[in-house]
Amino acid sequence: MSNTVTKRCVFISSVQAEFVEERAALRDYLQGDALLGRFFEAFLFEDVPAVDRRADDVYLDEVARCDIYVALLGNQYGREDSAGLSATHQEFNEATRLGKTRLVFVKGADDTVRDEKMQGLIAEAGTQLVRRRFQSVPELTAFVYASLIKYLEQSGLIHNGPFDAASCSNATANDISPEKVAWFLQRAKNSRGYTLDEDTPMLEALTHLNLFNKGIPSHAAILLFGKIPQRFLITSEVKCMHFHGREMQKPIPSYQIYKGTVFDLVDQAIDFVMSKLNRTVGTRELGPEAPVEYEIPREVVAEGIVNAIAHRDYTSNASVQVMLFSDRLEIWNPGELRPPLSLDKLSRPHPSIPANPLIAEPLFLAKYIEKAGSGTLDIVTRCKSGGFRPPEFRLDAGCFILTIWRKAGLILEVTGQVTGQVEPWVLQVLEACVTPLKSSEIKELIGIRHRETFQRNYLDRLLTEGWLERTIPDRPKSSMQKYRVTEKGKGYLASIKNDKRA
């Protein structure tokens, strides 16, 4: 392929006020994406400088010049000309007459709230081509992304799509977990009002999310819903490390490698960090539950981790690394910033330019991502409002690195003593289990969400050490099962207290 590429013009329709955000987001995305920016340039009517010509002449000439016409159809029909047609309707007719590639995206699912003429235009478009409905900017971006990649492939301009959209070699539909897809659909429905129901057939749901490529699951499909994602994408795991000091030194006191879907990875990595952060527990003066304050707010930890997993470069041989030191949390994300983003822009409002839009969209729908383009800005804002040292962003060794500082002077108040080198959750559980507790109660006590992570890395460890025991040892899976501190565990607690007094 030649290094010189003639860019295709993408005409983004509608100057209506209801699509200001969507139009700007699509333009910024096309300009900022390394692949699409090489092949496409966006045209927005409002970007045209003042000229001595009629507006309708300008936009119709641009439709004739463009290669792809993108129609955004909403509730408003728009101002009509002498023939009773809006600008968008004229553009659509002209693109149809000239045989242009047309991509039509309809916002919202309730057609009854639309202007009558807009209903007619949507129906007219539906008789000629396949329309896609969208609810949000991230969903629209993902749909346009997938459509343009398909255009490039059909035009022979690329032979392989971007990583998350490309077919996953040797994978089939049997490698996708129907249970994980159903879980996602239920969560997306409850969290964002997603259009598909929980009982939607798996293949239909994945097709709607653009996660199948010629009948083969894409990399995004495997990463989001695969039964064993690391079977196909080894480095998609997340490595979590806890160091007692400020430097990376061996032996590493606590080192976990987490595997699973991107949803599993986020949950497990967040649980790892939160279980090792010190916290204070206040009084119940203002309510039945005592307020808890962590050295780093859970929302900040979650934003940093989900951004790394969602936007990393999955073609890299490196993995996401989450490292907790005595004074800070560092999250290493394989990959560079995508133009036009720069380090100094991350602390200010900036466009969302996801490296993996087909992965980012389901994370948004499942409410793992709150708002497109707001991740780093939210971290900065939350740190500032909580009185924390500002986070730091840097690039090093092919990685984007986020540093979040722990709040100085915050200690865990479970024994009334500073916990020092002992992991806070261990003391917390042993003290609480003087009165037998169910596993679900222990999991909630230490703030762990992922059941398998809790069982493998926390509960099993305490049982293996002999610090906890089952109240019904001959029926390990009994629904009445509880756990209590052993004599050995009580001795361990006593030794810690004595060490602190010494």
Give me the CATH number covering residue 301: 3.30.565.60
State the pLDDT at residue 75: 93
pLDDT digits (tens, 9 = 90+) for 359-389: 999 999 999 987 655 678 888 888 888 888 8
Contacts of residue 150, defined as CB under 8 A and 6 or more positions apart, other chains included, come to none
pLDDT band at 413 (very low <50, low <70, confident <90, very high): very low
Q: Please give the pLDDT value at position 372.
A: 57
How many Cα neighbours within 13 Å face the side chain of 334?
Answer: 15
Let me know whether 225 and 329 are in one domain.
no
Residue 372 one-letter amino acid? A
Task: Write down the pLDDT at residue 456.
Answer: 74
- Identify whether 153 is part of a domain: no
233 has pLDDT over 80: yes
Same domain, 106 and 221: no
Q: Three-state SS string across 215-258, please?
A: CEEEHHHHHHHECCHHHCCHHHCEEEEECCCCCCCCCCCEEEEE
Region 441-466: mean pLDDT is 80
- Asked if 397 and 461 sit in the same domain, the reply is no
Give the model confidence (pLDDT) of 254-305 as tens digits. 999 999 999 999 999 999 999 888 776 655 555 555 566 788 999 999 999 9
- Whether 296 and 387 map to the same domain: the answer is yes
The answer to whether residue 164 is domain-embedded is: no
* Average confidence (pLDDT) over 430-442: 90
- Note the pLDDT of residue 214: 74
256 and 354 housed in the same domain: yes
| pLDDT confidence band for 161 (50 / 70 / 90) | low
Q: Is residue 411 part of a domain?
A: no
Domain residues for 316? 235-405
| pLDDT over threshold 80, residue 17 | no
Residue 419 in domain: no
- In the predicted model, what is the mean pLDDT of residues 486-490? 90
% of the chain at pLDDT higher than 90: 45
User: What residues contact 489, with CB distance under 8 A and at least 6 apart?
Assistant: 430, 433, 462, 466, 467, 468
**Averaged pLDDT, 32-47:** 84
pLDDT at 469: 94
DSSP state of 154: H
The whole-angstrom separation of Cα 58 and Cα 42 is: 15
pLDDT for the residue 15: 63
pLDDT at 32: 85
Q: Label residue 145 left, alpha or beta by phi (over 0 means left) and psi (-120 to 50 means alpha).
A: alpha
pLDDT at 409: 47
pLDDT the model gives residue 40 = 93
Domain boundary among 186, 212, 230: 230
Mean pLDDT on 330-342: 81
Of 405, 440, 456, at which residue does a domain stop? 405
Largest CA distance in the chain: 91
For residue 499, is pLDDT > 70?
Answer: no
Q: Which CATH number fits the domain that encloses residue 30?
A: 3.40.50.10140
Is 366 within the bounds of a domain? yes
Lowest mean pLDDT among 201-215, 375-389, 451-465: 451-465
Query: What pLDDT is stored for residue 500 in this prediction?
Result: 52
- Name the most confidently modeled range: 198-207, 209-218, 461-470: 198-207
For residue 6, which amino acid is it?
A: T
pTM exceeding the 0.75 threshold for the entire prediction:
no
Indicate if 398 and 430 belong to the same structural domain.
no
Same domain as 343, residue 472? no
Same domain, 214 and 355: no
CATH classification of the domain holding 486: 1.10.10.10
**Average pLDDT of the chain, as a whole number:** 84
Structure-model confidence comparison of residues 461 and 310, the more confident one: 310
Number of CB atoms found within 10 A of residue 463's CB: 15
Same domain, 243 and 373: yes
pLDDT score, position 144:
93
Q: Where does a domain end: 140, 155, 183?
A: 140
Determine the pLDDT at residue 286: 54
Q: Are residues 69 and 19 in the same domain?
A: yes
Mean pLDDT of 246-253: 86
CA distance 88 to 69: 11
Strands 101-107 and 238-242: unpaired
Is residue 156 in a domain?
no
Banded model confidence at residue 412, pLDDT cuts 50, 70, 90: very low
Give the chain's domain count.
Answer: 4
Pairing of strands 483-485, 399-405: unpaired
pLDDT for 416 equals 35
Least confident piece of the model among 46-55, 162-171, 209-218, 400-409 = 46-55
Pair (121, 181) in one structural domain: no
Mean pLDDT of all residues in 150-163 = 73
Q: Is residue 122 part of a domain?
A: yes
Q: Do 78 and 221 lie in a common domain?
A: no
Q: Is residue 488 part of a domain?
A: yes
**What is the model's pLDDT at position 49?**
59
Length of the chain: 502
Q: Is the pLDDT of residue 194 over 50?
A: yes
Q: Are strands 101-107 and 392-396 parallel, antiparallel or unpaired?
A: unpaired
